[in-house]
Copies of this chain bind each other. A is one copy, B any other.
Amino acid sequence: MVEKLLRNHASVRKYKDYTLSREEVSELIETAQHAASSHFVQAYSVIWVTDDKKKEELGRLSSNQKQFETAGAAFLLCADFHRLQAAGKMQDTDIMMDTTENVLVGTVDVALFAQNLVIAAESKGYGICYIGGVRNEPAEISRLFDLPEGVFPLFALTLGIPDQQNDVKPRLPVAAVLHENEYDSSKYEGLLKEYDQTMEDYYVGRGSNQKVANWTKSMADFLKTPRRSHMAEFLSSKGFHLK
């Protein structure tokens, strides 16, 4: 049942010794491509990292070296307007990619594609992990994979046969993310207190890595300092000027 599959998702960061074949990878990509795409621009590219040295380097640059070591496949997911530039050239047309709008279009396109890939993979028994850490060093990673103008790395994905599986973390109460007809922030304090208690109970009781923590405290700690302040400048170097 699809709903059960979706509700069972938890990141996997350690995999059994198994490498996905070219055929399997190709099939997963083709399935993932059936996600919706804004005006059918299909503004994404995948770098499948099979070279051991590059895999190690990508792991190091994204602060996730360990999981790349055991992954059955490692992908760098990129927003891509370079291919659209190529399409434009074939029609003697300069395309306009230089807008915040197109950064959003590319980002959504990548994410819908990736989530399809993830679900296809999980339906076959693989585990996965999204790695936003590639945005720690986007310029170096771009050089490592020769990413041209119009292409920026958004996240990586590792996948493989799970060797260790995390527990499924309780999500925010539905009422905290679902509003009806108007945004209602008056409910947050009550709901987040309730959720903090849920998360405290979860962190104390889970199978491994127990800790005393709750959600609002984790979020406050995580977001009290600005993160990855280089992103606007990096995107500009790739031809996306966010004006």
Residues of A bordering B, CB below 8 Å: 1-3, 5-9, 11, 25-27, 29-36, 38-42, 44-51, 54, 78, 80, 82-84, 86-88, 90-91, 93-105, 107-108, 110-112, 114-116, 118-120, 123, 130, 132, 135, 145-148, 151, 154-155, 168-169, 171-172, 174, 176-183, 185, 188-189, 192-193, 215-229, 231-232, 235, 242-243
Give A12 to B229 CA distance when docked, in angstroms.
Answer: 40
A84 engages B223 (CB within 8 Å): yes
Residues of B within 8 A of A42 (CB): 171-172, 177
Give A227 to B95 CA distance when docked, in angstroms.
Answer: 11
12 more A-B residue pairs beyond the given contacts A48-B181, A90-B192, A100-B231, with a C-beta to C-beta distance below 8 A: A6-B116, A29-B177, A33-B177, A40-B218, A88-B216, A91-B219, A95-B219, A95-B224, A100-B235, A100-B242, A145-B183, A242-B242
Least Cβ–Cβ distance between A129 and chain B, in angstroms: 8
Give A225 to B151 CA distance when docked, in angstroms.
Answer: 19
Indicate which residue in B87, B88, B115, B229 contacts A99 across the interface (CB closer than 8 Å).
Answer: B229
A96 engages B226 (CB within 8 Å): yes
Q: Which residue of B lies closest to A1 (CB)?
A: B123
With contacts A112-B114, A226-B96 taken as known, whether A174 is within 8 angstroms of B83 at the C-beta atoms is no
Give A233 to B60 CA distance when docked, in angstroms.
Answer: 36
9 tightest A-B contacts by CB?
Answer: A111-B111, A2-B123, A91-B220, A93-B220, A95-B223, A242-B242, A101-B228, A115-B115, A87-B216
Indicate which residue in B101, B171, B235 contacts A34 across the interface (CB closer than 8 Å).
Answer: B171
Residues of B within 8 A of A221 (CB): 93
Residues of B within 8 A of A5 (CB): 2
B87 engages A215 (CB within 8 Å): yes
Residues of B within 8 A of A182 (CB): 47, 145-146
Residues of B within 8 A of A102 (CB): 227
A108 engages B155 (CB within 8 Å): yes
Residues of B within 8 A of A49 (CB): 181
A232 engages B242 (CB within 8 Å): yes
A148 engages B185 (CB within 8 Å): yes
